[in-house]
Structures are given as structure tokens and as C-alpha cells.
Amino acid sequence: MLSVTNARSDDAATLEEVEAFLNDNADQGVRPRPTEQMKLAMDSGLALLIRDETALVGLSLVHQFRIEGGVRFFSEIGTMRITANGRGLQILLTRLHLAQMYVEEFGAAHHDIFAVVSHGSASEHNLTDVCGLTDWVPPKDLVTARACKGLPFSPAKRILHAEAPAIVRARAEMRAAHLDADIYALPRGKGEVRLDLGWLSPELLVV
């Protein structure tokens, strides 16, 4: 059975494993990021790793940007690569990210969750039609903050935003997928997955 866990960069072996996985499974839809940015993403506590019985088969990281003064906080679902049951797991990981960020809030007065996808891609379909993210024009502060990290927004990509209905939907879908203890049904009827996540409980998913 597949299992999903959170990971942090203070586990050097896991960080090396994550970078090796991304290098070995490079994809044009996943932008390479410097090691330091990977560490920061994992330090958020939002890194999700997927394993089968023998190896890492997927991961998803959230890259965060806090505008000076902490008035506004942005989280980008920005490094997601899956080699097993890709579409169903992408939906699952997106819902998990939305649910966890809703629970943890991160102490910002205004928290925006966004993603950048290619037009016509499976990711675009999963995040819009299935997960409910909508088109978004990022504020100038975020455009500048992202560019300063060497990550300018591409005009060829579609920028999506998780409004409140998408977050409510994610929590409701995760609640409906709960089977027993830490076992959840995968989207699209593709089997089951163990979510070994200390913060997650069915009670937190009640809408």
C-alpha cells in the first residue's frame, strides 16, 4: 500500500532522496529549484512524500513567500512530481495541502494559496475541474518576491488560486475518502493509501 508522510529538511538523507528523485524523474512541467529553496519548502512542514513498499514514488512541496511585515502570506503548490498513479495522487496531494494549510493558517492576516500550471495539461484539469482552483492575477508584491528568487511568472502558464470554496471542497472530499484509522480511498477509485500525518484526523476535516 502507498503511504504519505510529511518530511523536513533537517533529515539530510531525505533531502538527498528528494533531490535525487526529482533529478532521476525530471519533467518539463516541474521547474528545478535550488537546494536552498528546497530546504525552505521542506522546513514549512508541508512537504508530502509518497512511498510504496520499496521506494519514493512521488512528492509535493509548497514554496512560501511572506511579504515584508507579514501582512500577506503566499503559499505556492509548486514542486509536484509523481511516478505512480499520477492523476489520482495529484488530486489527493492538492487536497491534503489545502486541508493542512487551512488547519495551520501560518499566522498571516491574509494567506493566499496558488499554483502555476501549463495550459492543456493534466495538472490544469485536476486543479481546476476537480479541485476547484480558479484563475488569478497575482499581486505586484508576489510577482516581485518570486522574481527576486529567480522564479518569474511565465506568461505561457496559467496561475490558479484556491478560494474558500476550493478549501471547503478539499476538506469535504478528504472526509468522504476516510475509510478507517489512517487509511483513505484514493481518488478515481484507484485503491487505498495510508496517510501517516500527525496533524490529520477526520474531525479536522468536518466542514
pLDDT digits (tens, 9 = 90+) for 35-59: 788 888 888 788 899 999 889 999 9
The structural domain count of the chain equals 1
Q: Are 124 and 118 in contact (CB under 8 A)?
A: yes
Which pLDDT value is given to residue 93? Answer: 92
Which pLDDT value is given to residue 108? Answer: 53
Which pLDDT value is given to residue 202? Answer: 82
Q: Which domain holds residue 108?
A: 2-205
Which pLDDT value is given to residue 14? Answer: 86
Which pLDDT value is given to residue 109? Answer: 54
Low-confidence stretches of the chain (pLDDT beneath 70):
9, 68-70, 86, 105-109, 207
- The four Cα atoms 23, 28, 30, 32 give a dihedral, to 10 degrees, of 50
Q: Per the confidence metrics, is the pTM higher than 0.85?
A: yes
Give the CATH number of the domain where residue 57 resides. 3.40.630.30
